[in-house]
Amino acid sequence: MMAGRMHPLAANLTRMSSAILPASSTTIRHFGKAAKKKRKQKGGGTEGNDRVMNLVLKSLNAPRKKAPEPDEKEAARRSEIVRNYNIGMFNEHNEREHDLACKIALKQHAIKILPRDSYLKEDALKVGDLIPNVFSKRHIPGSEIFLKRKLK
């Protein structure tokens, strides 16, 4: 813009404000010059970013390495470990479920034999915030077999 001319919106603002405000307060100030626009570099960025981008793309597009196939002895050992683990997990699950079923049956029987309309029965039927931790003694089933073999 030229130095002597005002922007059309600023001129409208000056006209509108002159009716409301005294003449001395209608000046518009301009602070600094308009910022220059930065030129974009050709090629999309600096050379360092291209190098890093190419490295990342190469690593993402690289073929994945597969683990070598185990020999027969190793495959048999692994299948035995899996088999023992599954058997042990079934046994642990069954023991845990049986234990919980016995506790529930015992608690129901104890509640049945309490006298009716007593504070004992009311307290027994309250739900507490204590939850038993059934996983406190967690171990990997079947691991004892391999530990015994190594100790021999």
As given in the structure block, the two tokens for residue 98 are: 């049986």
What are the residue ranges spanned by the domains of the chain?
72-151
**What average pLDDT does the structure give for the chain?**
75
pLDDT of 72 reads 96
Helix, strand, coil percent content, the chain, rounded in steps of 5 = 55, 0, 45
Each residue's pLDDT tens digit, 47-97: 567 889 999 999 999 998 899 999 999 999 999 999 999 999 999 999 999
| pLDDT exceeds 60 at position 108 | yes
pLDDT of 122 reads 85
Contact yes or no for 104/49 (Cβ under 8 A)? no
Closest CA to 143 of 74, 100, 92, 96: 92
Cα 98 from Cα 19, distance rounded (Å): 92
Closest CA to 1 of 30, 27, 21: 30
| pLDDT exceeds 70 at position 9 | no
* Region 143-148 average pLDDT: 57
